[in-house]
Every structure is written in C-alpha cells, then in structure tokens.
Structure 1
Amino acid sequence: MTIRALISAVSQQEDLNFLLTNRIPRAAATRFMGWFSRIENPYVRDLSIACWRLFSDLDLSEARKTEFKSLHDCFTRELRPGLRPPDPDPRVVASPSDAIVGAFGSIRDGELYQIKGAPYSLLDLVGDAALVEQHRQGRFVTLRLTSSMYHRFHAPYDCRIKRVTFIHGDVWNVNPIALKRVERLFCKNERAVLQTQLSSGEALTLVPVAAILVASIRLHFLDVVLNAQTRGATAFPCDVEVRKGCELGWFEHGSTIIVLAPDHLEFCDGVTEGSRIRAGQPLLRKPVPNQ
C-alpha cells in the first residue's frame, strides 16, 4: 500500500478523522498555521507543499505563478487569466467558488440544514432578523472548499454589496464527518455575512464560514482581513457595485460558502450533493417567463 493510499484509508475512519481534526486545540492550531504558512523560506515552503501534495489532490497546473514565496502564497494563489469565466447568461447566478456541493434546497420558515436530518436556524447563522425575513422561504446551497482547491471567491451575479457583518466564533472542521457530529456547526464557527442586493431589489447573501486552520477571510472591496484578531467594528456598511465574476476575496486555506438566494430561482442541472462545481459555472437560474 502506498503512503497516499494509507493516508486515504485512515481519513475514512470517521472516529480517527474527527479526533485528529477537531479534538485538538483548534484555535491554537489555527494561529500556528497562520504564522507558519507565511514563513518565506524555500526549504520550509518546498517541504510544506510536498507534504500538502501527499495528503491531498493538490494541482498547481492552473496557477498564474510557478513559484511561491510561502505556503500562504500558494494557498491564496491566483489562476491564469480566463480560467474561471462567469456564465454569461443574465438569468444565471454563478457559483462564487470552486467547491463540492453540500446540502441545498428550500429554506422552510427560516430553517435550513447542514446535512439531512440536521437543521439549523437562519437567524443563528446570520444574526439579523431583518435579513432572515428576506430569505425566510428562499433557497440555499452549501459549497465546501477542500484544502487543495482554488481558494478565491467571486461575485455570483451583478449586485451591490450593502453590508458585511463579521461574527466571531469557533473553528471546527467543516468536513462531512464533523457536519454529522456537531450540531449547528456553521452557526458556531467564525463567519462573515455579505449582504448584497440585485437590481430587482431582492437579497442575495453569501456567508463565508471559516474552519480549523482557515480562520481568516480577506475581503478586497473593504481592504480588510477578518479573523479572531479582529477588534473594533464587526459591521461594515458599504455600497459597492460588483459585476458577476468580480473577485471578492479569499480564504486563507479552504472552507465553506453558504449562498442564500430568492425563492423563485431554480437549481441548475448538475447541482447535486457531492458534485463538483467551479467558480463561474451555473448554480441557480431565473425561470423562463411564461410565454
């Protein structure tokens, strides 16, 4: 058995996986990784990336650069121009990121779920009763970024960003094993709530959720990094117009984005639990008007 096959076999053991990725000092491990990943030493960088390749399906063939200053530089890499064009159909809401599709469906009176049979409250997630009312009977989809994926996220549609709220919290792993074992996990972790408004006036909300080793969210349009060290204001009113496909920011490693959308949108073909999707590909679609 190869080392990679052995690692894969171990990772499939749910008890051991949960123990190794959650029953450790999560905040301390995350702070350490934040420091370690920024070390600009070629030996540290090369060894770190080699280990990363061993534990994942990391593919850097699409990266804009071929050399990286540090592990962090590799985590937050840009892609070569033109590799993630947003779907041009004006009826389509595009995926904001490369991801694996998790739970998705209709929000039922302000309740959604992280996996089947594990509901959580929209109010607990976003912390804003007025925003809950806008999405109470809407649609949701959970997009999980793995550690090896492209970690930048983009505007899913032409919209105006009206407000960002940062919510302090824990840094549980967000893999499927943890989602089965930790109730209301997304409501416990650090997250940002990006409230956007479509030209129709309807709300389209993105909730990037941090996780262990990933508790920093960079937002370009505010020129801010949000994490456990964030002090002072945690609500940022703004009025920023962005076009579909515009880069909004990045995760420091990989995590989850929950998309909250109007109820009249339909999920596009191919959006199924466990399917892979890339930034810019169709996620939701406005229905064709009746002739």
Structure 2
Amino acid sequence: MRKLIAALTEQEDLNFLLTNRIPRAMLTRFMGWFGKIEQPLIRDLSIACWRLFSDLDLSEARKASFKSLHDCFTRELLPGSRLPDPDPAIVVSPCDAIIGAFGKVADTELFQIKGAPYSLLDLLGDPALVEAHRNGRFITLRLTSSMYHRFHAPHDCRIDRVTFIHGDVWNVNPIALKRVERLFCKNERAVLQARLITGEALTLVPVAAILVASIRLHFIDATLNAQTRGPTVFSCDARVRKGDELGWFEHGSTIIVLASDEFDFCDNVVESARLKAGQPLMRRVAGAGLREPERT
C-alpha cells in the first residue's frame, strides 16, 4: 500500500511539474498562435496527436473537416445536440464538464476542493456581487481538452456586466487544485453578471488555464486574453434564452456557476460525474422565485 501511495504521489508530482513549473504564459501565447495555423500537414498531425492522448470524439461535430487545430477545438455541434431542459424551474449546465466542488456558500466562503477554501470577494472583486451570492450556491464545472468548448446560457436571463480580471494561467486539474491555494482567484477570468427573468442573481465565471489562449464572448463581441487592453469592465444589456450560445474557450478550462439560496442542486449533480450542456444543474426551491418578473 505504501508503495502504491508513493507511486501515485510521484505521478502527481510529475504531472504538476510538467503542467505548471514551465513558462505558462509563454506556452499559452504560443498555443494561441500555433492553434490557428491553417497548414494542412500541421493541422492533421496536431489533431492526430490530440486523438492519441485523449478521448476526443468528433462524431457530434457540425462539420467533418477543420481549417486548423483551433477550428477543431472551438467546433460547433450538430443542431439539436445540446437541447436545454425546458423546465423553467431548472438552471442547466452551461457546458460539457466534469463536476468538481459544489455546495452552499458558507457566508462568503467556498472551496476549490475539500479543505481548500477561497472567498467570493477574491474571486469576483465586487462587494455588491458578493452580497448577491452570500450563503448561495456554487458549482465548479471543469472542461477537459477533448470536450466541446462552447458554453451556453443556463437560463433565460439578462447579462448586464462583464468584468475581465487579468491573472496567471495555472493548470486547473485536481492535482493543481490540491497544491495551489486560491487558484481560481489567481488565474485570468471573466465575471459574467446576470439576472434571471424572475430577478435572482446568476453569475458565471469562466476561468482561463494553461494553453487557454482566450475566452470569446459573442454578446460583447470581444475576445479576452492576456493581450486585452483598455476597458476590462463591459456594461451590456444582453438578453439571452436558455441554451443560447454565449462564447467559447480555446482549450479546456473551468466555469464556476454561482446562484442565490433560492436554488438547490438537482439529483444528477454528483462530484466527478460528467454533464453535458443543457442538462439539469440546479432547481428553484419550492416557494422561491415567486416575485414579479423584471420588466423588459
């Protein structure tokens, strides 16, 4: 048993070394450039290597050929592949993902894994938004490199503000989450501030990671990354329907979903389980959310 534990520890050490103790920002910029090369041989070899070292499945892709590795990463799916649960009481998953830490926000504290807490203020940087999610619900959704990288509106809502926060690009896999304190608060991220049509706060925090060259958001027509200059707070009035596409990552990463205490988790939400975009995530608690809808 001791030998097994030692072997696993050595594997984790190697994984952490290879994916974090390297020039993370430089490698991420390189990946952003390399992935867009449209030379057929480079494209084909890159996708072949990707298939070799992952469970990449392109059977749902809208097209059968791609211009570049980037084009494959950000692929669209066949129409109807990710239809959202129609129940108006349900908030759905915005993306394909593996479920990480989730639960009730303890006042303003949540955790990236068990025993590794961080604060809403460190994550969001906005005291008013922290109040909207005090004692609310949080869930961490991790996208792997082979997954579908586009993300969608989890409910009918209005997005009125996006804040881009510059930072590092640590790997966001479980090994790094155990070793890097407050990792999500250190990485680049976008805070998408929204309200459901019934008024409840709903916030999505797409978090960048190593090799994630950018986060693309359609509704503000912007690509956010380390080269983003000028305003980092975008006021907007984007009214979206459940399932509408919001944007994409250029590689696997994480989305943290924050909701109010008027919601609780659906029965299918289990740590390490896999979800697809549009599947149930949270349900409005009986008797909650009975206020008048916001006027549009």
TM-score, length of structure 2 as denominator length: 0.93
**1:173/1:83 CA distance change after superposition, 3 Å:** same
In structure 2, which of residues 43, 51, 63 is the aligned counterpart of residue 45 of structure 1? 43
Matched, 1:143 2:141: yes
Contact preservation (8 Å) 1:104, 1:140: yes
The alpha carbon displacement at 1:10 in A equals: 9.6
Letter in 1 for 2:164: F
2:115 is matched with: 117
2:200 is matched with: 202
Query: Secondary structure, in 3 states, of the residue corresponding to 1:69?
Result: coil
The alpha carbon displacement at 1:109 in A equals: 1.1
Matched residue count: 282
**1:64/1:11 CA distance change after superposition, 3 Å:** farther
Matched, 1:155 2:162: no
Letter in 1 for 2:115: G
Query: Secondary structure, in 3 states, of the residue corresponding to 1:183?
Result: coil
Contact preservation (8 Å) 1:194, 1:206: yes
Contact preservation (8 Å) 2:215, 2:247: yes
2:180 is matched with: 182
CA–CA distance in structure 2, aligned partners of residues 49 and 12 of structure 1:
29
Letter in 2 for 1:182: V
Query: Secondary structure, in 3 states, of the residue corresponding to 2:58?
Result: coil
Contact preservation (8 Å) 2:214, 2:224: yes
Query: Secondary structure, in 3 states, of the residue corresponding to 1:73?
Result: helix
The alpha carbon displacement at 1:12 in A equals: 8.5
1:245 is matched with: 243
CA–CA distance in structure 1, aligned partners of residues 30 and 213 of structure 2:
11
Contact preservation (8 Å) 2:168, 2:187: yes
The alpha carbon displacement at 1:196 in A equals: 0.2
The alpha carbon displacement at 1:198 in A equals: 1.2
Map 1:262-277; keep pairs closer than 5 Å. Answer: 262-277=260-275
2:80 is matched with: 82
**CA deviation profile, 1:31-50 (whole Å, cap 9, x unmatched):** 00000000001100000001
Choose 143-152 or 260-269, whichever is displaced more: 260-269
1:6 is matched with: none
The alpha carbon displacement at 1:157 in A equals: 0.3
2:3 is matched with: none
The alpha carbon displacement at 1:142 in A equals: 0.2
In structure 2, which of residues 163, 166, 187 is the aligned counterpart of residue 165 of structure 1? 163
Matched, 1:35 2:22: no
The alpha carbon displacement at 1:200 in A equals: 2.2
Letter in 2 for 1:104: F
**CA deviation profile, 1:106-158 (whole Å, cap 9, x unmatched):** 00111100000000011000000000000011000000000000000000000
CA–CA distance in structure 1, aligned partners of residues 152 and 272 of structure 2:
21
CA–CA distance in structure 2, aligned partners of residues 267 and 70 of structure 1:
38
In structure 1, which of residues 228, 236, 240 is the aligned counterpart of residue 226 of structure 2? 228
In structure 2, which of residues 275, 285, 288 is the aligned counterpart of residue 287 of structure 1? 285
Matched, 1:21 2:19: yes
Letter in 2 for 1:131: L
The alpha carbon displacement at 1:287 in A equals: 2.6
CA RMSD after TM alignment = 1.4
1:5 is matched with: none
CA–CA distance in structure 2, aligned partners of residues 42 and 269 of structure 1:
45
2:98 is matched with: 100
Query: Secondary structure, in 3 states, of the residue corresponding to 1:165?
Result: strand
Q: Detail structure 1 runs of 4+ shifted over 4 Å in the superposition.
A: 9-12
Structure 1 unaligned regions, length at least 5:
1-8
Letter in 2 for 1:185: L
CA–CA distance in structure 1, aligned partners of residues 198 and 88 of structure 2:
13
The alpha carbon displacement at 1:63 in A equals: 0.3
Letter in 2 for 1:54: L
TM-score, length of structure 1 as denominator length: 0.95
